[in-house]
C-alpha cells in the first residue's frame, strides 16, 4: 500500500515565549521539523503533508528543498481537525502515518516498527511506559488487554490517571477508515477541540484491531513545549551522539563537554579534549588531536593533525601532519597541504598553503597562494582589500618573509626571495633576492618627551 505521512506543525508554542514558530526552534543546530522530516524520509513515503499555521511561510522556507504538500490550518481546533485538513490530498488506499513536528528524536527503527503494526483493516499506536505520565493521554485497555480508547489528561478521572502507558501521538492508520472517523469527531470536551485520539474509541466500536508498539526510550517520544524540554532533549541527543563516537574508537576526555551538531567521521586513535563543538560535516583522519575550547565546522582534517586550544576552523581542508594553534582561526575556502604550521593568533582566509610552510605568529593571510617551505614572520599581513575589491597575493616556494611586513595585493613574491622585516611591499619582489622597504633610522638627541604641567 501507499504510505502518506502527515506532520502536524501548526502550533504556536506559547510556552516557548518566542516569535519563532515552535517547530523552527533548533536542536543540535537543526530545526525540530527538519529532524522529523529527515526521519520520515527514511521510510520512502509516497507523499508528505505538513499542516502549518503560525508564521507558516517561515516553516515552508526552512524545508523548501523537499517536495511537500503544504496544508494550512487557519484555526487551531485540535489535532483531529489538523489531520482532517490534509485528508483531501490522500487516497483511500493509502496508509497514513501521523507524526508531530515538535517530537524530533523518534528513530527510523521505531517508525518502521510502528508501521508494521497496521494494515488495510487495522491501525497502530505508538506508546511508552512512564513513571510520571502527567500530561499525556492514557492508553485504556479492556480486561483482555485490547485498547479501548485514549483519554487525555484533562479528561481523565483518578483511576485513569494511574495508568502509566501513555500515547506518544504517533499513529499508522488506513486512510479509508481515518477519513470516516475524522468526520465523526466532536469537540465536546474540556478543551473544546477535535481530538485525534478519539478515533481510537471509534475504531474499537467498529471492531478494528488496534495494535500498539511500545518504545523503551522515552526521549524518542518526548515533545518540545518549552525551552526546558528543548534543553533536556538537546542534552540527551548530545549524549547519544558522543556515545556513538566513543564506541567507534574516539577518546573523548569528558563526554558531557563535547557537542556534535552535524555528522562526524573519525579514524583510529582520535582524541578530543573538553569544550569542543563539532558542526556540519566533519571528517577526522587517524590520530587527530583536538585541543580544548575549539570550534570546527565543515572540515576535512587529515591524519596526524594536531589542533591546539581555542581554535576556530570553518569550511577548510587540512592536510596530514599539520599543527594548528593555539588561538588560530581558519576561515572558509582555506586549504592547507601536508605539514603546515599555523600558530597562535594567526588568521587564514580563502588561501592555499603548500607543504612544509609556517605561519607561526600574529599574522593575517587572506586571498593568497602560499608555496612550499615558506616562512612568514610574526605580524605579517596580506593587504587584500582596497575598499572595493579583493586582490590576490602570491608567495612562491622557499620565500622568507620578515616580521611586521605588509604585502599589498595584487603582488607576487618570487621563489627563494627574502623580504626584510618591517617592509611594505607594493611591487612584485624578484626571486632569490632581498627586498626591503624602510626609511633610514634617525636619532634626535635634542628631543624631549612632553610632560604634564604641575597644577
Q: Is 433 exposed, middle or buried (0-12, 13-18, 19+ CB in 10 A)?
A: exposed
* Residues designated as active site: 361
pLDDT reported for residue 455:
72
Return the exposure string of 47-79: e unless at least 16 CB atoms fall within 10 Å of the residue's CB, then b. Answer: bbbbbbbbebeebeebbeeeebebbebeeebbb
Both 190 and 239 in one domain: the answer is no
Last residue of a domain, one of 221, 256, 291: 221
Would you place residue 381 in the very low, low, confident or very high pLDDT band (cuts 50, 70, 90)? very high
The answer to the question of residue 442 being in a domain is no
The residue among 291, 310, 299 whose CA lies nearest residue 335 is 299
Asked whether residue 149 falls in the same domain as residue 59, the answer is yes
Q: Do residue 42 and residue 154 come from a single domain? A: yes
Domain count of the fold of the chain: 2
- Over the Cα atoms of the chain, what is R_g? 31
Please tell me the pTM assigned to this model.
Answer: 0.89
For residue 190, name the pLDDT band (cuts at 50, 70, 90). Answer: confident
Task: Kindly indicate the confidence band of residue 167, based on its pLDDT and cuts at 50, 70 and 90.
Answer: very high
Which own/partner pairs from 151-157 qualify as long-range (CB within 8 Å, at least 24 positions apart)? 151/197, 152/189, 152/191, 152/195, 152/197, 154/189, 154/190, 154/191, 155/189, 155/190
Q: How far apart are CA 170 and CA 7, in angstroms?
A: 10
Give bridge partners of residue 95 from the DSSP assignment.
Answer: 3, 174
Residues 127 and 270 in one domain: no
Residues 245 and 207 both lie in one domain? no
Domain annotation covers residue 444? no
Q: Tell whether 440 is covered by a domain.
A: no
Mean pLDDT computed over every residue of the chain: 96
Q: Which of 177, 206, 221 is the last residue of a domain?
A: 221
- Strand 251-252: give its sheet, edge to edge: 251-252, 271-272, 289-290, 306-307, 323-324, 341-344, 358-361, 375-376, 400-401, 418-419, 434-435
Do 35 and 181 belong to one domain? yes
State the residue range of the domain holding 195.
Answer: 2-221
Within a domain: 453: no
What's the DSSP call for residue 239? H
- Write out the E strands in 323-408: 323-324, 329-330, 334-336, 341-344, 347-349, 352-353, 358-361, 364-366, 368-370, 375-376, 381-383, 393-395, 400-401, 406-408
Is there a single domain that holds both residue 24 and residue 105?
A: yes
Among residues 189, 206, 221, the one where a domain terminates is: 221
What pLDDT is recorded for position 70?
96
* CATH code of the domain covering residue 402: 2.160.10.10
For 59, the grid coordinates are 516553516
195 with 249, same domain?
A: no
State the pLDDT confidence band at 450, using cuts at 50, 70 and 90. Answer: confident
Smallest CA-to-CA distance from 369 within 413, 327, 305 is with: 413
Provide the pLDDT confidence category of residue 449 given band limits of 50, 70 and 90.
confident
pLDDT tens-digit map of 202-220: 999 999 999 999 999 999 9
In a domain, 447, yes or no: no
Q: What is the mean pLDDT of residues 84-101?
A: 97
Q: What confidence tens digit (pLDDT) does each residue in 107-118 have?
A: 999 999 999 999
Q: Is residue 274 part of a domain?
A: yes
Verify that 424 and 328 share a domain, yes or no: yes
User: Same structural domain for residues 379 and 404?
Assistant: yes
pLDDT at 438: 86
48: cell is 508528505
Predicted confidence at residue 271, as pLDDT, reads 98
The predicted-structure confidence for 139-154, as pLDDT tens digits, reads as follows 999 999 999 999 999 8
The CATH number of the domain holding residue 200 is 3.90.550.10
| 445 inside domain | no
Q: Are 41 and 188 part of one and the same domain?
A: yes
Does residue 423 share a domain with residue 306? yes
Amino acid at each position: 500500500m501507499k504510505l502518506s505521512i502527515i506532520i502536524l506543525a501548526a502550533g504556536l508554542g506559547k510556552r516557548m515565549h518566542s516569535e519563532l514558530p515552535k517547530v523552527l526552534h533548533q536542536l543540535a543546530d537543526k530545526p525540530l521539523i527538519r529532524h522529523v522530516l529527515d526521519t520520515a524520509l527514511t521510510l520512502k513515503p509516497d507523499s508528505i503533508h505538513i499542516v502549518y499555521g503560525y508564521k507558516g511561510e517561515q516553516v515552508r522556507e526552512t524545508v523548501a528543498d523537499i517536495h511537500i504538500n503544504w496544508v494550512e490550518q487557519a484555526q487551531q481546533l485540535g489535532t483531529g481537525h489538523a489531520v482532517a485538513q490534509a485528508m483531501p490530498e490522500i487516497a483511500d488506499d493509502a496508509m497514513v502515518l501521523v507524526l508531530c513536528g515538535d517530537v524530533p528524536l523518534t528513530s527510523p527503527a521505531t517508525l518502521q516498527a510502528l508501521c508494521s503494526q497496521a494494515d488495510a483493516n487495522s491501525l497502530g499506536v505508538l506508546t511508552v511506559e512512564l513513571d510520571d505520565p502527567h500530561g499525556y493521554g492514557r492508553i485504556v485497555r479492556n480486561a483482555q488487554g485490547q485498547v479501548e480508547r485514549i483519554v487525555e489528561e484533562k479528561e481523565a478521572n483518578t483511576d485513569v490517571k494511574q495508568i502509566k502507558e501513555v500515547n506518544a501521538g504517533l499513529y499508522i492508520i488506513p486512510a479509508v477508515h481515518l477519513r470516516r472517523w475524522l468526520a465523526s469527531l466532536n469537540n465536546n470536551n474540556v478543551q473544546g477541540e477535535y481530538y485525534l485520539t478519539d478515533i481510537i474509541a471509534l475504531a474499537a466500536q467498529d471492531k478494528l484491531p488496534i495494535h500498539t508498539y511500545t518504545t523503551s526510550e522515552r526521549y524518542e517520544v518526548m515533545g518540545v513545549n518549552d525551552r526546558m524540554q528543548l534543553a533536556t532533549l538537546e542534552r540527551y541527543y548530545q549524549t547519544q551522539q558522543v556515545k556513538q563516537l566513543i564506541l567507534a574508537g574516539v577518546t573523548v576526555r569528558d563526554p558531557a563537554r563535547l557537542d556534535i551538531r552535524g555528522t562526524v567521521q573519525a579514524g583510529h586513535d582520535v582524541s578530543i579534549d573538553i569544550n569542543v563543538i563539532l558542526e556540519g560535516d566533519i571528517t577526522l583522519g587517524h590520530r587527530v588531536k583536538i585541543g580544548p575550547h575549539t570550534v570546527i565546522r565543515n572540515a576535512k582534517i587529515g591524519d596526524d593533525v594536531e589542533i591546539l586550544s581555542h581554535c576556530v576552523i570553518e569550511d577548510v581542508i587540512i592536510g596530514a601532519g599539520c599543527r594548528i594553534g593555539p588561538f588560530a582561526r581558519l576561515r572558509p575556502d582555506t586549504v592547507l597541504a601536508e605539514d603546515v604550521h599555523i600558530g597562535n593568533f594567526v588568521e587564514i582566509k580563502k588561501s592555499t598553503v603548500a607543504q612544509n610552510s609556517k605561519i607561526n605568529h600574529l599574522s593575517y593571510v587572506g586571498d593568497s597562494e602560499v608555496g612550499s617551505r615558506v616562512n612568514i614572520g610574526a605580524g605579517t599581513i596580506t593587504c587584500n582589500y582596497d575598499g572595493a575589491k579583493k586582490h590576490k597575493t602570491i608567495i612562491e616556494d622557499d620565500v622568507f618573509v620578515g616580521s611586521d611586513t605588509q604585502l599589498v595585493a595584487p603582488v607576487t613574491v618570487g621563489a627563494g626571495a627574502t623580504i626584510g622585516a618591517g617592509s611594505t611591499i607594493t611591487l612584485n619582489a624578484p626571486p632569490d633576492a632581498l627586498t626591503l622597504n624602510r626609511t633610514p633610522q634617525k636619532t634626535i638627541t635634542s628631543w624631549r618627551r612632553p610632560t604634564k604641567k604641575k597644577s
